[in-house]
A and B are shown apart, each in its own frame.
Chain A
């Protein structure tokens, strides 16, 4: 990586090593009242919009949501898929770009990995909200019990359980191990209880060449393991649908479709989070035009792939001409949910094409709007897939539709607040930008430099 290219990563001139530590650690070490107000607001919204309706639903039954006989799966499951999709951002950025040695990843991957972890936790919450008898959810885990019963490993949902457990574990370990040298920096910069806590968290890291060597190799192995894991997780989630016989679900394209959609919505999520980091944490120096530009180009590519897969689905369904599939297709395009479908196409296929112009791609505000629209479109896409295929299965006597109830809408809003709360807690406990990787992009401390 040449020095000129590295210099371009920094819009406002390169900071010194000491400044890197100061800037990034100050977010953790200094907390003002605005942070507490924001955290309190987010936690309250999460409590009021997510947990209280969920509690009501636990008492009354899943019937409090809008699902009925025609669509037994509703927004809870489509939100679950949306959040799992959002979690693929961190993995892509962190692991894939690490293997390919991309320099612009270095400032943003820590927050992206945090996004992964918190999206997964939110998705896991949605599984619990969705279940009819959630107090028995532990039966779906292979835990020895007095009944001598085990879960059904032939079920696609069991693949889900295994995959998401593995992904949660691997992501937590991945982000933790990558942060160990930064925990050491926090330890050095703090006193009292915080110093003692971070001494424990950093395992007594000193930064010897041997430690760096071992960490570098372990991190590379984690990255190499996590990439196929991420691909498999969303493929497995897509197979919850694709392994049924339902027309509209039963397509082989579902695995690539979902994985592509996941990386797409995840990358859009990263743009949103980067905007917030720059604006609220003062990281303008570290996250610059090059990052935005690279993310924008990635989004364009993913949008094109996503559009292509959608066209494929439409074309092969129409060309195949089986009556069940055609009925499902026409319901999707022109039926009760047609507005949702076309809104999804607009936001995910057409709006991102605005990014082809450099002017839009280099503007933070416009990219924020586009990334939010993309994610709204992706949320709708998950909903459209779930809600439009079930009411048009095979027997016309069983056709119908379903409308999400107030509880579902409230829980959807609450889930974003939960994610925000977790992220706000994260920025106070872990340096939001990786100190040592940013230092790697700075000009080296040489006498003649």
Chain B
């Protein structure tokens, strides 16, 4: 069973979230129309994100790839220009710099998709009011007596509406 609780006010929403996690419900999602720091804290999401590893990996890869590309293409068919060396550092550093940023961005994009799980290939519990002006608590994977307990916690915190749905899986 999936329980969706709609709240009109932030602090009710956060109180419900805290009570649910305290009672041992760990498969909860907190939907809001704008990012809320406190909601992220309740779920223990912390001050950093795994995305940073992707960014770093991308930047390093881009730096090496950029420099390697510039050097390798200069050596494949050597054409001296303007009395400069074949492998010149200042211009190649600029190329390296640009490729570092390019791959940093691309890998961060990959990291975002990987960490957030988007795009979502299956339907997940959602209420469109969560995109406008309401806050929705979603409890998934509850069975039997847990359903009633979760519902009580949500109503006690001041929910406007509580909905029960079947698990989609």
Query: Which B residues lie within 8 Å of A162 (CB)?
Result: 94-95, 98-99, 102
Give complex CA distance A193, B17 in Å.
Answer: 36
Closest-CB distance, A303 to chain B (whole angstroms): 29
A37 within 8 A of B: no
> Which residues A107-147 have CB closer than 8 A to chain B?
142
Query: Which A residues lie within 8 Å of B92 (CB)?
Result: 153-154
Give complex CA distance A222, B88 in Å.
Answer: 30
Tell whether, in the assembled complex, residue B33 and residue A436 are in contact, meaning their CB atoms are under 8 Å apart: yes
Give complex CA distance A32, B33 in Å.
Answer: 29
* Complex interface: stretch among A164-172, A293-301, A331-339, A385-393: A164-172
Closest-CB distance, B79 to chain A (whole angstroms): 7
Tell whether, in the assembled complex, residue B52 and residue A207 are in contact, meaning their CB atoms are under 8 Å apart: no
Query: Which B residues lie within 8 Å of A348 (CB)?
Result: none
- A151-B73, A173-B109, A213-B49 known; A165+B10 contact, CB < 8 A: no
> Which residues B33-79 have CB closer than 8 A to chain A?
33-36, 39-40, 42-43, 45, 48-49, 51-52, 55, 59, 69-70, 73-74, 76-77, 79
Closest-CB distance, A105 to chain B (whole angstroms): 16
- Contact string, A279-298, partner B, CB cutoff 8 A, digits 1/0? 00000000000000000000
Closest-CB distance, B20 to chain A (whole angstroms): 13
Tell whether, in the assembled complex, residue A159 and residue B94 are in contact, meaning their CB atoms are under 8 Å apart: yes
Tell whether, in the assembled complex, residue A153 and residue B131 are in contact, meaning their CB atoms are under 8 Å apart: no
Tell whether, in the assembled complex, residue A218 and residue B119 are in contact, meaning their CB atoms are under 8 Å apart: no
Residue of B nearest to A233 (CB): B98
Give complex CA distance A169, B55 in Å.
Answer: 15
Closest-CB distance, A62 to chain B (whole angstroms): 24
Residue of A nearest to B120 (CB): A204
Tell whether, in the assembled complex, residue A206 and residue B76 are in contact, meaning their CB atoms are under 8 Å apart: no
Give complex CA distance A419, B106 in Å.
Answer: 26
Tell whether, in the assembled complex, residue A447 and residue B9 are in contact, meaning their CB atoms are under 8 Å apart: yes
Give complex CA distance A184, B10 in Å.
Answer: 21
Give complex CA distance A225, B97 in Å.
Answer: 11
Give complex CA distance A206, B77 in Å.
Answer: 53
- A214-B115, A215-B116, A221-B55 known; A207+B130 contact, CB < 8 A: yes
Tell whether, in the assembled complex, residue B102 and residue A169 are in contact, meaning their CB atoms are under 8 Å apart: yes
5 tightest A-B CB contacts, nearest first: A204-B120, A17-B133, A150-B73, A203-B119, A217-B49
* 9 intermolecular pairs with C-beta atoms under 8 Å apart: A149-B77, A152-B81, A153-B70, A153-B95, A154-B74, A159-B98, A208-B29, A210-B40, A210-B116
